[in-house]
Copies of this chain bind each other. A is one copy, B any other.
Amino acid sequence: MSQSTSKVESISSTEQEQPHVLSIPLSEQQTDRSPHSHERWLLSKLLRMAGSPPVRFQLWNGEMVAPDEGEVRFTLHLKDPKALYQLVSNPNLAFGDLYSSGRLDVEGDLPDLMTELFRSVNDVRERWPKWLDALWRSHNPRSTGLAEAKENIHHHYDLGNEFYSLWLDNAEMQYTCAYFEKDDLSLEQAQLAKLEHVCRKLQLKPGQTVVEAGCGWGGLARYMAREYGVRVHAYNISKEQIAFAREEARRQQLDHLIDYIEDDYRNIDGQYDAFVSVGMLEHVGKSSYGEFAGVIQRALKPDGMALVHSIGRNRPMLMNAWIEKRIFPGAYPPSIGEFMEICETGNFSVLDVENLRLHYARTLEHWMERFEQHEDKVTELYDQHFTRAWRMYLAGSIAAFRAGGLQLFQVVFTPGENNALPQNRRHIYGKPAAPEET
């Protein structure tokens, strides 16, 4: 089903747009020849460059290339010679592509392998020569201008509500980090706990007005209206999500409290008691941070509270090339310093930052487990290539949060002159945020 494959590769998947992937002669696609000695050398070198993770390669003829020393816990099957050259010339991009197409396969737990690889590379990357780091890591993330943002978001979030409902929680269809305030919460409990946690941080009161930038399937807006009696304007440029959100609000008889608005966050108007954005900043793009700060500044009343929840980093770094090209066009997770610059630009006072990194690893583990339970259905909806790409995306994300490559920041801030501040943060911890059952 080629239409669905295009969901993964529709944007810049042609070779001329991947300048770092060498053009390989057709003869190298033969799988009936023996590997050359320089090919074995290249893979050994690659393993050393990656910090010697517990990984070996099995080549197309069954031959093994193992690390010089140490244990081996994972085997990577390279199915043809071209795959070897693609991997070596741009591992960052090719690993995901080769895995998606089945030309690279993995023996061993995929999230565990990715965690090992990230940790191992993390330890050695600073010792790489600059040119290699540039060759392997640099890429140009897609623009996040008004028109492109629509295309970027459509690419991912309009894959179909049926698809997402297969593996997201069935409480409020949350496609962002859950809050596992206790380890044994179900995904549904933890997602509702996240919504409650956000509302407590904002100290919502009945009758207040809230604007939400990037509302997904509308779950937070419904939770705020239902549990806190506030009026919500919720913006999103994903057609399918907005349609779902509206229907669900009607079903829950909350539509008199919520306006789901199919429009860009840059077009938010009005002034509100609270601004909230959960999982949208990743798509704003660094070049639009000033605009984002300006939007919040205009949207907040002088004593308004804002909460922005976003994937982030400990240090500035481009989004992983494969994720940016195949999964999240235009995505860029800010470093905590870049995040704070947004607050500085808007002349906000930062009141509270919480890092929920390991909560996202756990959330993704739940998603991946459900995803794998429905793999056949996903392949039926799309195709094998899509299923493998998404498995890699979920596994790689688990690994990035485990290994510390990605963080999850919740930042609460308010206009710099506002003195109507909470006395302390005890109001967030009065009683459990999660419902006893769902």
Chain A residues in contact with chain B, CB under 8 A?
119, 122, 179-183, 314-316, 335-337, 339-341, 343-344, 347-355, 357-358, 402-404, 407, 409, 416-419, 421, 423-426, 428-429
Main secondary structure of the interface of A (DSSP, over half): mixed
**Closest-CB distance, A124 to chain B (whole angstroms):** 13
**Other contacts beyond A181-B423, A351-B354: 16, CB < 8 A:** A122-B417, A181-B424, A314-B347, A315-B347, A316-B344, A335-B344, A336-B343, A337-B340, A337-B343, A339-B340, A353-B353, A354-B425, A404-B416, A404-B417, A428-B429, A429-B429
Nearest first, the 7 A-B pairs at minimum CB distance are A353-B353, A337-B340, A429-B429, A404-B416, A336-B340, A315-B344, A351-B355
Task: Tell whether, in the assembled complex, residue B314 and residue A344 are in contact, meaning their CB atoms are under 8 Å apart.
Answer: yes
Task: Tell whether, in the assembled complex, residue A429 and residue B425 are in contact, meaning their CB atoms are under 8 Å apart.
Answer: yes
Cα–Cα, bound, A349→B407 (Å): 8
Cα–Cα, bound, A337→B350 (Å): 10
Task: Tell whether, in the assembled complex, residue A352 and residue B353 are in contact, meaning their CB atoms are under 8 Å apart.
Answer: yes
**Closest-CB distance, A333 to chain B (whole angstroms):** 14
Please, which residues of chain B bring their CB within 8 A of the CB of A424?
179, 181
Task: Tell whether, in the assembled complex, residue A404 and residue B181 are in contact, meaning their CB atoms are under 8 Å apart.
Answer: no
Select from chain B the residue with minimum beta-carbon distance to A193: B424
Cα–Cα, bound, A357→B414 (Å): 13
Cα–Cα, bound, A344→B335 (Å): 8
Please, which residues of chain B bring their CB within 8 A of the CB of A183?
423
Please, which residues of chain B bring their CB within 8 A of the CB of A339?
340
Task: Tell whether, in the assembled complex, residue B423 and residue A180 are in contact, meaning their CB atoms are under 8 Å apart.
Answer: yes
Please, which residues of chain B bring their CB within 8 A of the CB of A343?
314, 336-337
Cα–Cα, bound, A285→B409 (Å): 27
Cα–Cα, bound, A181→B423 (Å): 6
Task: Tell whether, in the assembled complex, residue A349 and residue B353 are in contact, meaning their CB atoms are under 8 Å apart.
Answer: no
Residue among A122, A314, A315 with max Cβ neighbours from chain B (10 Å): A314
Q: Indicate which residue in B337, B352, B404 contacts A355 across the interface (CB closer than 8 Å).
A: B352
Select from chain B the residue with minimum beta-carbon distance to A181: B424
